[in-house]
Amino acid sequence: MVLLLLLALSGTGVAADTPIVTFKSGVSNVPLDVLVLNGTDIVKDLTQQDFVVYDENQQQPILYFNFGTEPLSLLLLLDVSGSMQQYIAEMGLVARAALWHLQKGDRVGVMVFAHNRRARLEFTDNLDKVVDDLKDAVHDDSVGSTTEINNALLDAAKFVKASQSARRSVLILTDNLGLNFKSPDEPVIRSFDDANIVLNAMVVGRAARPELTPGHYLNPDYTPPDVFTIAETTGGEAVKATNTGQVFREMIARIRTRYSMQFKKPEGASGYRRLRVELSPSARLRYPKAVILARKGYWAEQ
């Protein structure tokens, strides 16, 4: 059983001797990281009885439930290609206020990418270091200029997977432009799902969700970036950020304020399994317009 810690954040840094909760998915339990929104408001008063989980349309008993207290490992993944510097600078200006939403025991890392990837800051509970690194990252030109988003996400998943936190998340800042060469979305989604990582995305500039033109030939080796679909499939959200600082603060709050739950993998389950999380009838009456964000599936290994 995962050990839960409920500790208040004190100051801008977190004590170095904070105990770390190890993420243990086991061989039979499937973890879920769930956000419930009612309009723009986070729904914070739900209990275990207010959720219903389906695996391949079969309801599953929820064996473990927690709200907002499990330590979080959060990787800030920054696109430093092209004209992205202004958006990183805006994040840096509000970083201290945004990270105030985190709790004692949470840790944050920073990685930059363009053509290549580089981890600038290992996971730390010293939020002052994170703020300073964000302000310095705007000048980082060590990773080239072209953009390879999916390769960056694959490296980010490996980086976060090595963390010991019960909850794991990546927040990417990107304009969602460029091309992925021989790096389709499916391996990215699987790498996030296998490590129980949620992707959230702040999409800036003129980019939008890619649209496929019917009948138009596409070279399968070159695919357009689509952080929108990857985020939604892993249980996160992709937000078009016209005010980068404001959206950064909002995203950190939503990443921190999520429900954690687990259910037992059905006997004999294998291959890709579709998941669905719903509110119970009584909870739906209280929140008829609520939107639930949770991973869409998982791979069950025999």
- Do residues 108 and 262 touch, judged by C-beta distance below 8 A? no
Are 80 and 62 within one domain?
no
Summarize pLDDT for 220-249 with one digit per residue, the tens: 767 888 999 999 999 999 999 999 999 999
Contact status, residue 195 vs residue 98, Cβ threshold 8 Å = no
Measured over the CA atoms of residue 239, residue 245, residue 246 and residue 250, the dihedral's sign is positive
Question: With contact defined as beta carbons under 8 Å apart, do 255 and 224 qualify?
Answer: no
CATH number at residue 120: 3.40.50.410
Provide the 3-class DSSP secondary structure of residue 60: strand
**What pLDDT is attached to residue 215?**
56
Give the span between the Cα atoms of 208 and 240, in whole angstroms: 8
pLDDT of residue 166: 83
Residue 13 is assigned to a structural domain of this protein: no
Cβ atoms of 21 and 164 within 8 Å: the answer is yes
At 57, the amino acid letter reads N
Q: Which of 290, 283, 269, 279 is nearest to 30 (CA)?
A: 269
Q: What span, in angstroms and rounded, lies between the C-alpha atoms of 74 and 65?
A: 21
Considering the domain architecture, whether residues 113 and 33 belong to the same structural domain is answered as: no
Q: pLDDT digits over 70-84, tens only?
A: 999 999 999 998 879
Return the pLDDT at 6: 33
- pLDDT band of residue 184 (cuts 50, 70, 90) is confident
| Angle, alpha carbons 219-221-224 (nearest 5°) | 80
Q: What is the pLDDT of residues 95-114, one digit of tens each?
A: 999 999 999 999 999 999 99
- Return the pLDDT at 3: 36
Write down the pLDDT at residue 59. Answer: 98
Query: Do 178 and 296 have their domain in common?
Result: no
Question: Domain tally for the chain?
Answer: 2
In this prediction, residue 219 has a pLDDT band, given cuts at 50, 70 and 90, of low
Q: Are residues 205 and 270 in the same domain?
A: no
Whether 129 and 247 share a structural domain? yes
Inside any domain, residue 295:
yes
Q: Taking residues 176-195, report their average pLDDT.
A: 87
Structural domain span for residue 42: 29-67+266-300
3-state secondary structure 143-164: CCCCCCHHHHHHHHHHHHHCCC
pLDDT for position 244: 94
